[in-house]
Chains A and B, each alone.
Chain A
Amino acid sequence: MSGNPAFRGRLMFAVLTLVVLAGTAWYVAADFQRARAERNAPTQVEVAEDVLDGPHVLFRGTAPGDLYGRVAAVALDDLSGPREVTPVVCDRVSGQGSTTVCLRTRRGVVTTYEAEVLDEAWRTTATWPLPGVPSRTRLSPDGLVATTAFVTGHSYSQTGFSTETTVRDVDGTEVSGNLEDFTLLVDGERVAPVDRNVWGVTFVDDRNFYATVRSQSLGHTWLVRGDLTERTLVTVLDGVECPSLSPDGTRLAFKRDVAENGSATPHWTPAVLDLGTLEITVLDAEQRTVDDQLTWLDDATLLYGLPRADEPGTTDVWSLPADGTGTPAVAIPQAWSPSVVG
């Protein structure tokens, strides 16, 4: 302990290293124990059987415990009732008849992402890799699968985000390729903004769909009508994000950014667009920001997921009347990514 400043510096660094390593190791060990205990604890939900045989809502269960992340279903006429839990773990899920599409993060030192198509016995019938974090998926009655993944950079040097949205056949063969490559027509004119991104597909039939196209540089978030045969995206309206077509095909539910100009982060409020009159009903009874592709429970009710403020990782599926007459209420507790399977 002489007056040598270099020696003193080294000694202090050694002490600092020991303190930091010990502290970090202690935290990691404690958190690992906690996570293991939580994962092995039985999930506290009421479980039922035969739910999948009738009309039901499929979703990702987010109740903590050993069933966390498993796809589950509740009966359509008893949303808050007991759930049947499947063996499959998904981030996003969409069902149609006996077929289910599942987007998933495969964790590991090498974390990869994939889409999977499953049959009624939860066997994999098709699978393909995704380039990033799964975001949205829709399965159409005609057997088309739309998936959106976020292609995010791993380093400082990459600017912004990018989405990859594709449409495939239910057997995994490509139908559209990346929808960004479709011709974008704004008021009939072809434009090609550099930073366009496409996401949130909702199918009309086996050829047409609605989706969102955003260009940061042009400052627009368009609702577009897509055509898989012509390979075009035609803009319909500005300021419409993540559309979802009602079962009767007359309205689109979407999220609308109502944040003030210059706000760094958006505030999304659910809204409904009448496709006949292009009239918009903003459902501002919901005051929280909703970042989900809304789902129609029936022609009058919307479903969407919201995170619980005080319980990270746990979410609830909320319902809201589509005509703006009511207030939001929890429809399916501890659930995410609802999909109505008739």
Chain B
Amino acid sequence: MSGLVRAAPEGTGPTASTTGDRPSTRPSTRSGTRPSTRSGDARRRAGRVPSTVVTLGVVSFLTDVSSEAVMAVLPLYVTAALGMSVIAYGVVDGLVQGAGALVRVAGGWAADRTDRPKWVAAVGYGLSALTRVGLLFAAGLPAIASLVVADRIGKGIRTAPRDALIAAAANPRNLGRSFGVHRALDTAGATLGPLLAFAVLWAIPDGWTTIFVISLGAAVLGVGALVLLVPDLRPRRAAWLRTHRTREDRGLPKCKGCTCDAAGGLETTGRPFSWSFLRGGATVRLLVVAGVLGLLTVGDGFIYLSLQDRDGFATHWFPLLYVGTNATYMLLATPIGRLADRVGRGRILVWGHTLLAAAYVCAAVPFPGAVTTVAALVLLGTFYAMTDGVLAALTSALVPTAVRATAIGTAQTVTAVTRMAASAGFGVLWYTFGSVDALWFAAAALAIAVPVCAYLIRGGRLEQDAEAVEQVPA
């Protein structure tokens, strides 16, 4: 019995909010529920982002402060303190990016299989926190390089389970908004981390260890917040309970006082994990759209470089260009998530790429100066707000709960891998035709691809309701 109770924690969990939210086609047989008040409560609750989502946002905030503080100063540390150039450090990087993308699917898969996304995510966060301990004792480049690798594997492991937790905790109707809130906090951490690290170096010129200590502290708090504050949501079990309302459905004896509580092979885990979600028409459609758009999304690095190639303003502020992008992303993630819930997440995801095209144009036009630089950064930040969290929300709503984390991981991997391919391909254009022509080309390709993708997802083809899929017990 205790297992069933834990699946519905304190009214903020998934079962409670989604139960109340559903139209009362299937009257609850649980005693003591008054349908009218429940739906009223639910409506009020739907207006709020669940505390679990905010807590997960804080976890990401702390973890990003921790990792980005280190990543930002690592090149300086390697040159200034270790007396080496960054070349050696860059060697491992490309390899790691690929490995990180694959680990993502594995992390999602593990979360789905065990139905314990919290603890899979905790492994990922924990691994990254451990690398901070290692950093305090690391001497020399090989050690640091391996720690960077371990850190990114940790990031790969945790991302999909974490997003599955958000999806499980959030009201399905405002998934976009919940992901928006999470991404805003996440990005705030990514912005603050480097600034904090440089402030430390300003006060303590050789304060590398201090940065590592702060980074470790933030990472420990992040893991602590996850382990101590986030409920151990069991999305698959909760979905099963949602679709098996009656005691008969659940295979329980009719009377409550019966002692044969767990008898009869009680199976509360619902439909088992299966890769067959990859055969679903809507899922494939989403992955294709994500892949096509990913192939036309070149790294921000190229935009920053071409801005910097073009004018002194961008060169002088080069280390800060990312702050402009992140600030925009942070501010717009929540309102755009909300908008996505209202007008359709697929639509926002696809049309967000027109802003990316506009950012390319801003970086390509021959009008150097602050205005086009700032415009490019704002467009880029808005693009991220319209795509990153929205993709996770879209995927979560599209697939059955049992495969949610894997599906999120897969969609993110498709995006990451196609973006890496895009950067490589764009690099060829960049060196063959020059930065300006290459950017115009990418913008033009996007201008063609966006309407095509919009056509592919027309008429809410990506807005399929996962709950409908789960109506029928397996």
Contacts and interface: CB of A to CB of B under 8 A. Distances in A.
B318 A291 contact: no
B173 to A, nearest CB: 25
Contact of B228 (A10, A163, A181, A306): A10
Interface string B292-331: 0000000111000100110010011111101000000000
B14 to A, nearest CB: 16
B104 interface: no
A325 interface: no
Contacts of A16: 220-221, 224, 228
Contacts of B9: 6
A32 interface: yes
A156 B85 contact: no
Nearest to A192: B431
Contact of B305 (A17, A28, A162): A162
A43 interface: no
Contact of B84 (A108, A109, A153, A291): A291
Contact of B225 (A13, A35, A153, A309): A13
Interface residues of A, number: 75
A35 B205 contact: yes
B299 A216 contact: no
Contacts of A301: none
A155 B299 contact: no
Contacts of A275: none
Contacts of B441: none
A154 B68 contact: yes
Contact of B312 (A129, A159, A180, A199): A129
A6 B183 CA distance: 25
A11 B432 CA distance: 60
Interface string A20-53: 1101100110011001000100000000000000
A159 B221 contact: no
A209 interface: no
B329 to A, nearest CB: 11
B257 interface: no
Given A109-B199, A156-B152, A20 B221 contact: yes
Contacts of A91: 79-80
A135 B198 contact: no
A34 B126 CA distance: 31
A162 to B, nearest CB: 7
A135 B91 CA distance: 17
Given A13-B225, A157-B299, A266-B91, A312 B81 contact: yes
Interface string B400-443: 00000000000000000000100111111011101000000000
Contacts of A151: 305, 308, 318
A162 B301 contact: yes
B445 interface: no
A156 B202 contact: no
Contact of A159 (B199, B420, B431, B434): B420
Given A157-B299, A160-B93, A178 B309 contact: yes
A178 B81 CA distance: 28
B56 to A, nearest CB: 14
A307 B82 contact: yes
Nearest to B68: A155
A194 B430 contact: yes
> Taking chain B's interface residues, is the majority helix, strand, or loop, or is none over half, making it mixed?
helix
A216 B68 contact: no
Given A153-B301, A265-B142, A28 B319 contact: no
Contacts of A264: 91-92, 142, 145-146
Interface in B67-114: 67-68, 71-72, 75-76, 79-94, 97
A129 B318 contact: yes
Nearest to B424: A194
Nearest to A306: B83
A21 B217 CA distance: 7
B41 interface: no
A28 B79 CA distance: 23
B86 A152 contact: yes
A217 B208 CA distance: 33
Nearest to A29: B210
A155 B190 contact: yes
B214 A28 contact: yes
B93 A35 contact: no
B319 A154 contact: yes
Contacts of A161: 75, 86-87, 89-90, 93
B451 to A, nearest CB: 27
A194 B423 CA distance: 9
A6 B82 CA distance: 46
Most buried by B among A31, A195, A266: A31
B455 to A, nearest CB: 29
Interface in A177-219: 177-178, 180-181, 192-196, 199, 214, 216-217
B204 A315 contact: no
B206 interface: yes
B75 A24 contact: no
Nearest to A307: B83
B229 interface: yes
Given A91-B80, A265-B145, A158 B301 contact: yes
B217 A23 contact: yes
B253 interface: no
Nearest to B90: A161
A156 B71 contact: yes
A133 interface: yes
A9 interface: yes
A216 B94 contact: yes
Contacts of A132: 75, 318-319
Contact of B88 (A113, A196, A265): A265
A35 B198 contact: no
B4 interface: no
Contacts of A157: 299-300
Given A6-B10, A307-B82, 17 more contacts: A12-B228, A13-B228, A16-B224, A20-B217, A110-B317, A111-B198, A112-B317, A129-B312, A129-B315, A135-B85, A159-B420, A160-B93, A192-B431, A194-B425, A265-B91, A265-B142, A291-B87
10 A-B pairs with least C-beta separation:
A194-B427, A161-B90, A307-B83, A192-B431, A9-B228, A24-B217, A152-B75, A35-B204, A291-B84, A129-B316
Interface of A: 6, 9-10, 12-13, 16-17, 20-21, 23-24, 27-28, 31-32, 35, 39, 68, 91, 105, 107-113, 128-135, 150-163, 177-178, 180-181, 192-196, 199, 214, 216-217, 264-266, 291-292, 305-307, 309, 312-313, 315, 336
6 contacts: A24-B214, A27-B213, A150-B79, A156-B152, A160-B93, A313-B81
